[in-house]
Structure 1
């Protein structure tokens, strides 16, 4: 589990093919201490939970399957900057929200502009994610825990916006985004379980009973 609070950024240094399908990727970072990271530990790389298979003082490697490559963006591009976060420990502060590191879909940047002292980021996502995105709810974009300010369903897609404070822009890769870029999205963990526990019809009936 993670919290969506990025600890540092790194860069993809090498990408090597594995036998069959999949890649072994090396990430290098000067500001992401790895002394307390062991082989087999989990690190969120731009929102995707990856298992450390090798490490040095300033780099680590992970293997990514062909399926994960199809579901994510930005994990196989040498030279690309990525957001990094170690798995949380029990007792840690949860500065963002509970994050699993499982990417649910991709979004596309529609707008990224400065508004006053903050930045507005507008993203469109596939329609299947729309029911999980709520105003003032939590969402993860490239590993960063953010709060949605506006949500709108348009035909076959969902459009939502978030505001970024200057600190978030400065210390994450979100500062590099441009219109048309793809981003990794993870929906709120609670919304995922609520859907499983309360199918749409049952949830509506439960709400009517409570109001009655």
Structure 2
């Protein structure tokens, strides 16, 4: 479980494709405090640490994960938003994030509004009813507030702090982004679906 508050921006230092795909990621985390088998959210997806060294850790990614995330776009040098798993008693600064990516969305529009950046993303029809203005959304692992929702798009504003401390400082139109809906919306939708069948 995560909060969508990014605590480090890592960098892919190596990509190895054998059976699964292995990514080695450089980090400023003290890797002595990371156990093999620990979960780390890497630009959204919750991934398992399978190997580590001083200043880096490795994760294995299955073809299934590659098919439903943007990790297939990662190359050596790709920057990665990182968040370690939530511990009991930690501050919940964002919202409850599972690290289970629902879809990949695309940056459609970008503009400067004051000191902030307004971003508009595509919205798959399947999830249109699960995104609400003033609700929470997780994009590439970042907890954000939705500003507006259209039939096939939604918008968020990125403040300077988020631009400086995440990969969103270098975002461009056309970029593919990992998208996770709010877990509360997921369960409300499921309850509605079940109740409508009764």
TM range (shorter): over 0.9
Is this contact kept in 2: 1:9–1:32, CA < 8 A? no
1:71 aligns with one of 61, 68, 78: 68
Per-residue Cα deviation, 1:37-59 (whole angstroms, up to 9, x for no partner): 10000000000100000111200
Per-residue Cα deviation, 1:128-168 (whole angstroms, up to 9, x for no partner): 11111000000011000000000000xxxx21000111000
Q: Within 5 A, what are the aligned runs for 1:77-96? A: 77-96=75-94
* 1:182 aligned residue: 176
Is this contact kept in 2: 1:74–1:80, CA < 8 A? no
Indicate the SS of the match to 1:38: coil
- State TM-score, norm by structure 2: 0.95
1:167 aligns with one of 161, 168, 176: 161
Query: After the TM superposition, which parts of structure 1 deviate over 3 Å for at least 4 consecutive aligned residues?
Result: 200-203
* Structure 2 CA distance for aligned equivalents of residues 51 and 183 of structure 1: 20
* Structure 2 CA distance for aligned equivalents of residues 91 and 201 of structure 1: 35
Where structure 1 has 5 or more consecutive residues not aligned to the other structure, the ranges are 206-212
Q: Within 5 A, what are the aligned runs for 1:22-37? A: 22-29=20-27, 31-37=28-34
* 1:44 aligned residue: 41
* Structure 1 CA distance for aligned equivalents of residues 60 and 76 of structure 2: 15
State the 1:198 CA deviation.
2.1
RMSD: 1.6
Q: Within 5 A, what are the aligned runs for 1:87-126? A: 87-126=85-124
* 1:61 aligned residue: 58
State the 1:200 CA deviation.
7.8
Where structure 2 has 5 or more consecutive residues not aligned to the other structure, the ranges are none
Indicate the SS of the match to 1:35: helix
State the 1:34 CA deviation.
2.4
Indicate the SS of the match to 1:199: helix
2:126 aligns with one of 104, 125, 128: 128
Larger Rg over CA atoms? 1
